[in-house]
């Protein structure tokens, strides 16, 4: 898993003042599933990436790019 994505995901969530549990609930996944994405253990699907983008109010490119 891309460490940059993990870092950007964590930072975007914190900017929104959301916990991992809150994001997981909005996505309809268990908290450990979301936590695994931030820790780089697993990767979200394209569908989940789109939902994350909407929930965190960031573009997909902001989650995956190095220049944030």
Tell me which residue of 24, 12, 3 sits closest to 53, measured CA to CA. Answer: 12
Number of H helices and E strands in the chain, helices first, is 5, 0
Express each pLDDT in 43-67 by its tens digit.
999 999 999 999 999 999 999 887 6
In CATH terms, the superfamily for domain 3-64 is lambda repressor-like DNA-binding domains (1.10.260.40)
Confidence (pLDDT) at 1: 60
Worst-scoring range by mean pLDDT, 14-18, 21-25, 51-55, 62-66? 62-66
The CB-side HSE value for 52 (13 A sphere, CA atoms) comes to 26
Q: What is the pTM of this model?
A: 0.91
How high does pLDDT run on average in the chain? Answer: 94
Q: What span, in angstroms and rounded, lies between the C-alpha atoms of 5 and 20? A: 15
């Amino acid at each position: 898993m891309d460490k940059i994505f993990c870092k950007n995901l964590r930072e975007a969530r914190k900017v929104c003042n959301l916990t991992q549990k809150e994001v997981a609930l909005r996505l309809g996944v268990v908290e450990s599933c979301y936590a695994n994405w931030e820790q780089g253990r697993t990767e979200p699907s394209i569908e989940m990436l789109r939902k994350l983008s909407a929930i965190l109010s960031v573009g997909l490119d902001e989650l995956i790019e190095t220049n944030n």
